């Protein structure tokens, strides 16, 4: 357990996250990654539209979404790796190196999602079993009086631990080189022992991101109003008119497929501005989470918990395989269903498939 001065030092260290706004390599890579993902989606969407509403259209569109997601998360991980190097005060690696490392990290993210899902299922199953035990007459009522408050606290703490500790800090753990089980065990241990300090740091980081976003939006809004008004007076008709409404009409016409070259330039410049305004707060958020991870998690020893989690997942897999084998065995041992006997529709006497008339009542069958 860290002392109060250490917690204050960790909170003060979060201000280093503001330096991420000056990391032009990470900023450019994040914007380029987003644009690449959008272009891939648009290209595959256009190709899919040429196939109409058939199966090939769905396959092409789905393939485009998968490729776009891989491209985006590879670039996102590369940005996180660059910011992790900056947080650790290490020399910055090349962008190509960061991209390859980010691509290699993707399977670990998939493993984290699968592990989190498996543990959530195991947690819910355990809670359901305990609640079923509370249905025991007389004893169940007394047991529920103990189970209810404990389950309320456990579910609430688990929710906050996953939302504010595990999910925000799992990516920095993987970017730092931790294995899937190791990363999860460390963060789960942190959630049990230092949940409140980490929550406070997350709140401070969120407030910092909120303030920075507000400042950036105010800068763009004030500068945009002044520049647009000045452009209306100088460029006049080329911008769509000599008033603010005329320029807005010109931009609207541009988005509808018309408009002048100035309107096109203004629209393009606005897109760049909003891309930067959106990327800078995200960089600060990523860098802040890397700093929180380095402050609280990196040197945490959770080897025992890692082994228990690994055993729990293995037990869950074994139970699933056993249930599947039992189901397969019961299907093989199930006797074949006999064909229903043929009967005469008139007297319900037994007949064969070759009979033309019923042997009992003479009813014509064919």
Give the contacts of 29 (CB within 8 A, at least 6 positions apart).
75, 78, 79, 82, 95, 98
pLDDT for residue 29: 92
Q: Quick count: other Cβ atoms within 10 Å of Cβ 68?
A: 20
- CA 157, CA 186: separation in Å to the nearest integer? 16
Give the contacts of 161 (CB within 8 A, at least 6 positions apart).
188, 191, 192, 195
- Given CA atoms 206, 11, 279, 94 in this order, what sign does their dihedral have? negative
- For 96, 264, 278, the CA distances from 271, given in Å and listed in that order, are 26, 11, 11
For 77, how many CA atoms within 13 A lie in the half-sphere containing its CB? 27
pLDDT for residue 207: 93
pLDDT for residue 299: 65
DSSP state for residue 338 in the 8-state scheme = P
- CA 63, CA 45: separation in Å to the nearest integer? 10
- CA 231, CA 251: separation in Å to the nearest integer? 13
pLDDT for residue 114: 86
pLDDT for residue 305: 57
- CA 278, CA 217: separation in Å to the nearest integer? 9
pLDDT for residue 336: 47
Task: Specify the 3-state DSSP secondary structure of 350.
Answer: strand
Average pLDDT of adjacent 10-residue blocks, the chain of 366 residues: 52 82 90 89 83 78 89 92 90 90 90 84 87 84 88 85 84 87 80 80 91 92 83 64 47 50 73 85 92 80 61 65 67 53 70 71 70
pLDDT digit string, tens, across residues 149-164? 988 888 888 888 788 8
∠168-169-174 over CA atoms, to 5°? Answer: 125
∠254-255-259 over CA atoms, to 5°? Answer: 10
Task: Specify the 3-state DSSP secondary structure of 141.
Answer: helix
Q: pTM of whole model > 0.85?
A: no
pLDDT for residue 76: 92
Asked if residues 67 and 46 have their Cβ atoms less than 8 Å apart, the reply is no
Give the contacts of 233 (CB within 8 A, at least 6 positions apart).
242
- CA 288, CA 170: separation in Å to the nearest integer? 13
Altogether, the residues listed in the chain come to a count of 366
- What DSSP letter does each residue of 255-277 carry, written as one string? HTT---HHHHHHHHHHHHHHHHH
- For 187, 227, 288, the CA distances from 9, given in Å and listed in that order, are 20, 43, 14
pLDDT for residue 338: 47
Tell me the two tokens of residue 254.
Answer: 């541009």
State CA 218 to chain mean position distance: 30
């Amino acid at each position: 357990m860290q002392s109060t001065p250490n917690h204050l030092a960790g909170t003060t260290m979060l201000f280093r996250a503001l330096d991420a706004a000056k990391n032009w390599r990470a900023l450019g890579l994040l914007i380029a990654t987003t644009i690449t993902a959008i272009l891939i989606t648009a290209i595959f969407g256009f190709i899919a539209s040429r196939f109409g509403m058939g199966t090939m259209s769905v396959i092409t569109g789905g393939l485009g979404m998968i490729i776009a997601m891989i491209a985006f998360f590879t670039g996102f991980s590369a940005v996180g790796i660059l910011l992790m190097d900056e947080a650790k005060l290490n020399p910055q690696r090349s962008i190509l190196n960061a991209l390859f490392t980010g691509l290699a990290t993707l399977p670990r993210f998939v493993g984290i999602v699968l592990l989190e899902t498996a543990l959530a299922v195991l947690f819910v199953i355990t809670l359901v079993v305990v609640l079923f035990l509370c249905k025991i007459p007389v004893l169940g009522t007394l047991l529920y009086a103990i189970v209810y408050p404990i389950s309320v606290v456990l579910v609430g703490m688990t929710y906050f631990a996953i939302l504010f500790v595990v999910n925000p800090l799992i990516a920095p753990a993987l970017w730092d080189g931790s294995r899937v089980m190791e990363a999860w065990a460390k963060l789960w241990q942190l959630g049990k022992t230092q949940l409140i300090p980490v929550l406070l740091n997350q709140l401070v980081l969120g407030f910092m991101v909120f303030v920075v976003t507000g400042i950036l939006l105010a800068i763009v809004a004030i500068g945009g109003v002044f520049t647009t008004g000045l452009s209306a007076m100088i460029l006049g008709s080329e911008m769509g008119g000599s008033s603010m409404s005329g320029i807005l009409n010109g931009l609207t016409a541009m988005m509808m497929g018309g408009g002048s070259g100035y309107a096109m330039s203004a629209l393009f410049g606005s897109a760049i501005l909003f891309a930067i305004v959106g990327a800078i707060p995200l960089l600060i958020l990523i860098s802040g989470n890397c700093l929180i991870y380095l402050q609280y998690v990196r040197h945490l020893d959770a080897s025992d918990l890692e082994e228990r989690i690994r055993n729990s997942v293995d037990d869950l897999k074994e139970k699933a395989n056993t249930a599947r084998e039992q189901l397969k065995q019961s299907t093989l041992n199930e006797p074949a269903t006999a064909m229903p006997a043929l009967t005469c529709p008139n007297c319900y006497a037994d007949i064969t498939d070759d009979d033309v008339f019923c042997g009992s009542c003479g009813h014509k069958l064919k």
